Structure 1
Amino acid sequence: MGNPIWFIFWLLVFWFISFFVAFFCAFFYIIIYAVVVCVPGLSGITDILLQGLQFPHYCAKAMMDCKSLF
Structure 2
Amino acid sequence: MESQPNNPLHGIKLATIVEELQKHYGWDGLADRININCFKSNPTIKSSLKFLRKTPWAREKVERLYLKTDFK
Fold shared, TM-score > 0.5 on shorter chain: no
| Greater radius of gyration (CA) | 1
**Structure with more relative contact order (C-alpha pairs < 8 Å, separation 6 or more):** 1
